[in-house]
Structure 1
Amino acid sequence: MSNLKVSSTGVPQFTARDYSSFFFAGAICCTLTHGAMTPIDVVKTRIQIDPALKRSSLLKGGRYIIAQEGPTALLTGFGPTAVGYLVQGGAKFAGYEFWKKQFVNVAGGQEDAVKYRTAIYLGAASVAEFFADILLTPLEATRIRLVSQRGYATGLVTGFTRLAREGGIREMYAGFLPILCKQIPYAIGQFTVNEFCHELAFRSMSEETRRSLSPTAKFGISLGSGITAGCAAAVLSQPADTLLSQINKGHGPTGSMVYRLTTLAKEAGFRGLFAGTGPRMVMTSGLVAGQFLIYGWLKEAMGAPPGLEIHKE
């Protein structure tokens, strides 16, 4: 176990080794879950950008793609998905732990931070996601090109190389603003709702009861919190997710990114922006619940300390 030191204000003093454990656990949990969800993500992306699949259900869209292009089409973009979320997941989870601790220090310590916990969750999730998205954006652009343009490239390396060669940094980061608009609300829903679900579950328990929880009870709390957080993350980030797919497909007018996003949003309308929300909620609830479960297991296996907790008793 990690020999965790605590400051006079009750804030854990995480070491470089602790943060490396957070990074590794976050990287593995995001790679495994996002990689496993590739077929659903392929169908979801195609529903957003392919007129032939507009308003299709997840099942109907999947059947159509298999009939037209074969089963392997559902694994399109697996490479950039796995690598992209390896680096993004590590940076996001470790970053969230880091920034939450910094904001707790700013608030004056663990006890004083409780009344500001909502702002701390929002701030830590947002800042961590911002830096993680710098790593994710080029690989996400590659993935969407592979999914939306059949024959664009044979895989991760050839797709990334072609995108870099033909578009350069400008094209690789064309989706940075919309991906921030998507991923920051996603992270806010993921971490903030998960924190409050755990707080709600633990609030009525004594410290002794909490320490003696069975593995099944702990699993149930983590699973339920993760599923709820995943649904919130999907709804909050859905409009920007739709716009991101459109931008990487090359849709919309020329001009500044803000102008393009505004124009595409007006063209899509409310219903268009939320196209594919059902499939995405299914995908995201599984993603987020799986991520938190795997993240917790890996941290425990590596002897890493638990995250800083500022729940209201």
Structure 2
Amino acid sequence: MLLSLLSKASCQSQDVAIPSTSQEVPKMGLVQSLTAGRTIAAASVAEGDSCEFGSLYYFGLCGLGGVLSCGITHTAVVPLDLVKCRIQVDPAKYKSVFNGFKVTLAEEGTKGLAKGWAPTFFGYSIQGLCKFGLYEVFKVWYTDLIGEENAYLYRTWLYLSASASAEFFADIDHPWFCKHPPEAWPRIMREEGVNGFYKSLVPLWMRQIPYTMMKFACFERTVELLYKYVVPKPRADCSKGEQLVVTFAAGYIAGVFCAVVSHPADTVVSKLNQEKGSTALEAAKKLGMAGLWKGLMPRIVMIGTLTALQWFIYDAFKVAMRMPRPPPPEMPESLKKKLAAEGKELA
């Protein structure tokens, strides 16, 4: 299925004649909908770009950018994540972030704060590959399915659908790498079988899919709003450094919302990993409403910073690799004409 999506995403219509004049004509194709009126299509490499927008090579680079953004950032915040999880599952012992660090250092030393960094790095690198790479694939594919005008009018739903689809597949590797160290794999396989790796997959989806939907959709729309209402000049007039500052700001805002919507499910997943044999519902009942929201502030700080850095690294990678970076969506000319004919104001 994924190979067919990639294959479809790299294709374009063959029915379009190449203009014989030097006048720039918007190229028809799969990837025109969110970049209406501009010549961004998987037909030729634009001047200054290293690859075609929507090509297999482009999606491959997006996946590599996801590897770097997720692998590096999640590994860097392992100590904070470890303390946050301990606050969630044992608030009597770990009373606050500062206290959690103090107790962990006293009992386990500095090495205790780095516990689990290896499976975290490899697991989140693979997840980043799927999350960012497939998001770009699904965004292009769904754009083609619903058409140019609908892709603009319902772009928030487009971002939500594409990110949810990407996260669904990205989470499948997660229980193997991120929740269990490699030395535990044979024992888990022997005692519980393959199901032992995936017993927390459903609550993981409950946490990660809303998280990723917010992460991508909120980021995309925040970037759009920042350029429209905050940045004093069009994106085309901004330097690459200024654009990356906007990326970081939009990423942090998206991260705050990500933390809030996914925190209860994150607490349940932490509890399930502590107590074998429990179900998600049983864990939620034990935690109670107050327990479900325990550790929210450190999670907001962690996820906000994490998400901002991920988007910064991902966008900086695109800049370094000279990848196409389409500007915020514009209303298609066909839709402008329809609204003008109906006497409606252009949004």
Equivalent residue letter for 1:46: R
Contact (CA 8 Å) 1:107, 1:116: kept in 2 or not?
no
State the 1:47 CA deviation: 1.1
Verify: 1:289 aligned to 2:308, yes or no.
yes
Residue 64 of structure 2 is aligned to residue 24 of structure 1: yes
- Structure 2 stretches lacking a partner, 5+ long: 1-10, 13-26, 34-40, 43-53, 332-346
Preserved CA contact (<8 Å) 1:178 1:240: yes
Inter-partner Cα distance in structure 2 for 1:250 and 1:164:
18
Match of 2:85 in 1: 45
Residues in 1 aligned to 2:244 and 2:328: alpha-carbon distance in whole angstroms: 18
**2:213 corresponds to which of 184, 188, 194:** 188
Q: Deviations over 1:85-124 (max 9, x none)?
A: 0100010001111111111112212x43111112111111
Q: Taking structure 1 as reference, are residues 193 and 130 closer, same or farther at Cα in structure 2, changes over 3 Å only?
A: same
User: Runs of 5+ in structure 1 lacking a partner?
Assistant: 143-155, 254-259
Q: Deviations over 1:105-146 (max 9, x none)?
A: 12212x43111112111111100000000111222221xxxx
Cα distance change, pair 308–162 in 1 and its aligned pair in 2 (3 A): farther
Alpha-carbon separation, structure 2, partners of 1:83 and 1:264? 28
Cα RMSD for the two superposed structures: 2.4
Aligned pairs (5 A) from 1:52-67 = 52-53=92-93, 56-67=95-106
Contact 1:117–1:311 at 8 Å: present in 2 too? no
Residue deviations 1:225-275, cap 9 Å, x none?
01111111111111111111111222564xxxxxx2222212212211111
Cα displacement (A) at 1:214: 2.9
CA 1:160–1:303 in 2, change beyond 3 Å: closer, same or farther? farther
In the TM superposition, residue 174 of structure 1 has moved relative to its aligned partner by 0.7
Counterparts of 2:92 and 2:275, CA distance in 1: 18
Question: Which aligned pairs between 1:167-186 and structure 2 lie closer than 5 A?
Answer: 167-186=192-211
Alignment partner of 1:84 is 2:123: yes
Amino acid at match of 2:115: T
Distance 1:128 1:307, change over 3 A: farther
1:62-91 deviations in Å (ceiling 9; x for gaps) = 111111111110101101100000100010
CA offsets 1:261-312 (integer angstroms, 9 cap, x no match): 2222122122111111111111111111001111011122223222685466
* Separation in structure 1 between the aligned mates of residue 228 and residue 110 of structure 2, nearest angstrom: 47
Residue 119, structure 1, aligned to residue 157, structure 2: yes
1:250 matched to 2:290? The reply is: no
Specify which structure has the bigger relative contact order, considering alpha-carbon pairs within 8 angstroms and separated by 6 or more residues.
1
- Say yes or no: does 1:138 pair with 2:157: no
Tell me the amino acid that sits aligned with residue 227 of structure 1. Y
What residue is the counterpart of 1:70 in the other structure? Answer: 109
SS in 2 for 1:102: helix
The aligned counterpart of 1:237 is 262
SS at match of 1:29: helix
Match of 1:257 in 2: none
Q: Is 1:7 equivalent to 2:7 in the alignment? A: no
The AA in structure 2 aligned to 1:266 is: K
Match of 2:20 in 1: none
2: distance between equivalents of 1:243 and 1:308?
Answer: 39
Write the distance in 2 (CA, Å) between the matches of 1:112 and 1:207: 29
Q: TM-score, normalised by structure 2?
A: 0.77
Q: Distance in 2 between matches of 1:131 and 1:272?
A: 29
What is the rounded CA distance, in whole Å, between the counterparts of 1:44 and 1:277 in structure 2? Answer: 9
Question: Which residue in the other structure is 2:343 paired with?
Answer: none
Contact 1:139–1:160 at 8 Å: present in 2 too? no
Q: What is the deviation of 1:46?
A: 1.1
Structure with higher helix content: 1
Distance 2:233 2:302 in 1: 36
2 CA distance for matches of 1:216 and 1:23? 22
Q: CA deviation at 1:167?
A: 2.6
Question: Which amino acid in 2 is paired with 1:273?
Answer: L
Number of residue equivalences? 290
Report the CA distance shift for 1:308/1:218 in structure 2 as closer, same or farther (over 3 A): closer
Instruction: Report the residue type matching 1:84 in the other structure.
Output: G
